[in-house]
A and B are shown apart, each in its own frame.
With several copies, the nearest count.
Chain A
Amino acid sequence: MDYKITDIEKSFDGKIVENLGNNDYVIKINDNEHKLKIISMNSTGIEFILNQKYHKAKYLDQSTNEINIVIDNVPITINRHTHFDEVVFKHSGGAGAGNAQLSLKSQIPGKVVSISVAEGDSVKKGDVICTLESMKMQVSVKAHKDGVVKSIKIKETATVAKGDPIADIE
C-alpha cells in the first residue's frame, strides 16, 4: 500500500512481508525489510519494537485514506493511497459470482453512520448504499449489482455484525 507524509513530502510503499508468529513480523518499507514485534495493540494504539527500537503510537482521527498518529510523542499525519472501499465492495459481493445474490451483506462489523438510499430506489452496481463506522474509520458499503432496493435491513446508529444483511437488491 502507498503511504504519504505530507509534512515532510515523502511517500512510502509499505507492506507486511511475513508473519513469523509470536507477534513477530517482517515488514517492507520501500526497498528495505524490517523486523517488527508487536508488544501490545488495541483500537487506540500500538506498542512495538522496530529494528531493536521501541515505539509507542496512538491512532487518532482515522479514516480510510488518512490516519493521524502520535508516535513517540510526535504527531504525524499519514495519507493512505488505499482501496479499502474497494476491498469492502469486493467482499460484499461486488465482484464476480456474487452478482446473482439478492442480499447485500456487511463484510465488517460497524455502526451505521448514514443510509444513502430508500426502499424502492433504483441503484447501480457500485452506488453507495450506506456508510459504516468501524475502528473509528468510515467505510462505504456499495451495491453489488444493479437493481431496485427492495428492503433496507439496517437503521442509522444501529450496530451491524460481519455478515449481517444491509439491503436486498433485486
Chain B
Amino acid sequence: MIEKVLIANRGEIALRVIRTCKALGIKTVAVYSDEDYNSMHVKQASEAYHIGEAAPSKSYLNQEKILEVMMASGTDAVHPGYGFLSENDDFARLCEKNKIIFIGPKADSMNLCGDKMKCKDAMLKAKVPTVPGSPGLVTDADDAEKIANEIGYPVMLKSVYGGGGRGIRIVNNDKELREGYESVTGESIAAVGKSAILVEKFLEKTRHIEYQFARDTHGNVVHIFERECSIQRRNQKLIEQTPSPIVDEETRSRVGELVRNAATAVDYTNLGTAEFLRADNGEFYFIEINARLQVEHPITEFVSGLDLVKLQLDIANGEPIPFKQSDLKMNGYAIECRINAEDTFLDFAPSTGPVPDVTIPSGPGVRCDTYLYPGCTVSPFYDSLMAKLVTWGQTFEESRTRMLAALNDFYIQGVETSIPLYKTILNSEEYKNGELSTDFLKRFDMIDRLTTDLKKEKEEKSEAAIAAAIIHSEYFKSRVQSNAANNSNWKYNLD
C-alpha cells in the first residue's frame, strides 16, 4: 500500500494531488526549485525538498535529483502530475528499476502511447479509426510533401514528441509545408532533443472531444465519459465541458467502447485520456492517448462523483477498479475555464509578476484549483495556468451562469488574465448553442467582441472611476494647500 507519495510537479496540480493524499492519510513529499520556495505546494506537503534552479531542466526535469529525493525521503510512489516528467517513459522506467511505484502507465505502454506512429498502428489493429495521413514517420520534407498532396491540403505536421499544442503546424500548400517542417523539427529538438514527424489530414470545423478512461492491472477497463475541449488558442485548450453538446447516449457508449479497446490495445494501466477529432460529418477520429492525469480532470470528477486521484492511487496499489462501466452515471453538467496569466490582446503573451491580492471565487457548484494566494508570484519559468475554475450545474445553463458569476468574482491583481475573454465567450449565443469547434475564437471573432465588451464595461464603470479620481485629486490638492497636521478634512493618510 502506498503510504508516501512524492509529487514531481508544482503549482495547482501538485496541490490537487496533495489534497487527496491528505484526505486519505497518505504522506506527501513536495519538490521545489529556487523559484518556488514560497509556493503553496511547498507549504502544503508533509515534506519539501529543494531540487535545483528555476529552469525546469535544472529542477523539475532533473530525474536523478528527484530519484535522490525519493530515496532520501523514503517514498513508495511518485505522482508526475501533467507536463514535466509525466509522459517521460525513461523516468517511468527509472522508477520501476528503483522499486518506486510510478502512478501512471508502465514505461513500455507509455512509450507506445508517446510514439504517435506506433500508437496509430496499434489503433488500426484495434479497429479504432484514426485521421487519414502518413502510415508512419515521413522520411523528410519531400516525403511529407508527397503524402500531403495525396490526402489533400490542409495537412498537419506533428512531431511524435510534441504534445499539448507544441510541435504541431497546420500548412496549406507546399511552401508552408516546407517552412513548417523546419520549425516543427526545430521545436521538437529544442524541447526533447529529437524529432520525428507525421503528416495528417487537417479537418476543418472539427471538435476536440476526449474520453477519460481507467484500466487496472487486472485488465478491467472503463471509460468515464467524454469532455469537449474545442475552445482553444494555438492548439491549447481554454474551456472544457462535459457532457459535450453533440454527444448523445448512443454515441457516448459507442465511442466509449472504442476507447476501452484503445486502452487495452496499448496495455494501458492507470488513468489516461483518449483524444479524438470529431469531424463535421459526425465521425470520430482517434488522435492520441495522453498518458497522465489531464488538466481538465475536475469536470469529469464533478459529473462522475469520482475522485480521480484516489482512483489513480487505487490502481497503482494493484487494486481492481471498484466499480463497473454500468455503475457509472453522468450527473449534471460541468465547465472548466483555465485561468491563464496572459494578455489576450498581445496574442496571449504570458503576463508574470507578483500578485499582491487575490479573491478566489466560491459557492455552490464552484470549485477552484489554484496555487494563487495574496502575496504569491506568477513565475516566468513555468506555464501560465494559474487556476482552474470549474462549475457544476444540474443543467448546462446552471453551470454556465454559475461560471459567469464566479468569473466576475475572481480578482487577480498584478497580472493580465484570460478572465475577460471567458466572460465574452460564455455570454455568446454561439457558446450557449453549443456551436463549438477548434477554431471557435477566430470563427466567431471573439477577440473583437471582447474589445467591444471591455469598452462597454468601461462605459459602465466610468462614473465610479471618475469618483475615485476626484477623491484622489482633491486629497492631493488639499495636501498642497493646507498643513497636513491640521487638515481635518482628511482622515486618510496616503503616504
Contacts and interface: CB of A to CB of B under 8 A. Distances in A.
Decide whether A and B are members of one complex: yes
Given A19-B489, A56-B43, A46 B471 contact: yes
Contact of B48 (A46, A52, A82): A52
B326 interface: no
B457 A7 contact: no
Interface of B is mostly: helix
Given A42-B494, A87-B477, A10 B468 contact: no
Contact of A41 (B465, B479, B492): B492
B47 interface: yes
A53 B47 contact: yes
Interface string A65-107: 0010111111010101010100110010000000000000001
Nearest to A7: B458
Contacts, number: 146
Contacts of A59: 468, 472
A82 B494 contact: no
A115 B41 CA distance: 48
B45 to A, nearest CB: 7
Interface in B449-495: 454-455, 457-459, 461-474, 476-477, 479-481, 483-484, 489, 491-495
Interface stretch (A31-39, A119-127, A143-151): A31-39
Contacts of A16: 470-471, 474
Interface residues of B, number: 46
B469 A43 contact: no
A95 to B, nearest CB: 12
22 contacts: A5-B462, A14-B470, A15-B474, A16-B471, A34-B467, A46-B471, A50-B464, A52-B47, A53-B464, A54-B44, A55-B468, A59-B468, A69-B465, A71-B468, A72-B464, A76-B465, A78-B469, A84-B473, A84-B476, A109-B484, A162-B479, A162-B483
A48 B471 contact: yes
A10 B455 CA distance: 12
A76 B461 contact: yes
B480 A107 contact: yes
A108 interface: yes
A1 interface: yes
A49 interface: yes
Given A80-B473, A84-B477, A109-B495, A53 B458 contact: no
A43 B472 CA distance: 9
Interface in B32-57: 37-38, 42-49
Contact of A15 (B457, B470, B480, B491): B470
Nearest to B413: A58
B468 A57 contact: yes
Given A76-B462, A135-B476, A48 B467 contact: yes
Contact of B470 (A23, A27, A53, A84): A27
Contacts of B408: 73
Given A78-B466, A87-B480, A38 B471 contact: yes
Contacts of A12: 462, 466
A131 to B, nearest CB: 15
B304 interface: no
B444 interface: no
B469 A87 contact: no
B469 A80 contact: yes
Nearest to B417: A73
A14 B477 CA distance: 14
A70 B468 CA distance: 10
B382 interface: no
A35 B472 CA distance: 16
B471 A8 contact: no
Contacts of A114: none
Contacts of B483: 162
B418 interface: no
B474 A71 contact: no
Nearest to B457: A74
Contact of A36 (B43, B73, B469, B471): B471
B489 A29 contact: no
Given A54-B43, A108-B479, A10 B469 contact: no
B197 to A, nearest CB: 43
Nearest to B34: A22
A57 B465 contact: yes
B47 A162 contact: no
B461 A72 contact: yes
Interface string B69-101: 000010000000000000000000000000000
Nearest to A67: B469
